[in-house]
Structure 1
């Protein structure tokens, strides 16, 4: 089931990029990011309240709060840079470089989480890197 969700995530991310490219036309990229973030904020909290999971808010540990806040800050940075890049470049090139995050996430997971990667993951990371280079050079 995780694959279905991961695929849907990729599909929605692809739609996000195309829709965002049209949306940032003539709009400051920071303002566009703020508008997008507001929509996401309302949607996410709406889901939390509709499903009743807001009752679990007090159960979130200080460690989880810290890392979720840090994750939120890095997400915000990613979106700000992504929208600025979309304003300046083509969707195909910007998304290609953005998806290099897969390789960087694998590298960071090895360095900081001590995850073990298989040969298949290393080969896949190499292919992603080669693909990004082919699409941007």
Structure 2
């Protein structure tokens, strides 16, 4: 059975929502950097377990220097995001932190246009604007 990108995106959203709730509970009384490190080890073991189980390590020798560079940079950005996210969860309510974190959707649209040359349609611009407006509304509540 194969799933479309849409199915995986919905699962991603669901797991991201669970992540926020579970992390908020888990970070209570724990240093946010330590909590991030624990989460990272769990993800590391899970991801490599999946790669090994599927035999996907065969693709390692074919990775170009450019792929390595951008995957490492992406990993650094992910790590920085997680460190900031866990600290924000520790300091603020998840009902405020999560919407601000999701501003990444609107920022991604802008960056995709600027760096990847993707086209921003009026619907995309409207969606990004609604995300920004929705975040502001949620922050004021």
Same fold (TM over 0.5): yes
| Aligned-partner Cα distance in 2 for 1:118–1:99 | 20
| Aligned-partner Cα distance in 2 for 1:34–1:4 | 29
Gaps (5+ residues) in structure 1?
none
Q: CA deviation at 1:106?
A: 0.6
TM-score where L is the length of structure 2: 0.96
| Aligned-partner Cα distance in 2 for 1:15–1:66 | 31
What is residue 124 of structure 1 aligned with on the other side?
127
Confirm or deny that 1:54 pairs with 2:76: no
Q: CA deviation at 1:117?
A: 1.2
Choose which of 32, 35, 39 in structure 1 pairs with 2:42. Answer: 39
> What secondary structure does 2:29 align onto?
coil
| Aligned-partner Cα distance in 1 for 2:104–2:63 | 28
What is residue 93 of structure 1 aligned with on the other side?
96
TM-score where L is the length of structure 1: 0.98
Choose which of 8, 18, 31 in structure 1 pairs with 2:21. Answer: 18
> What secondary structure does 1:54 align onto?
helix
| Aligned-partner Cα distance in 1 for 2:53–2:89 | 34
| Aligned-partner Cα distance in 1 for 2:7–2:94 | 24
> What secondary structure does 2:44 align onto?
helix
Segments ≥4 residues shifted beyond 4 Å: none
Name the count of aligned residue pairs.
Answer: 137
Q: Which moved more, 1:24-33 or 1:105-114?
A: 105-114
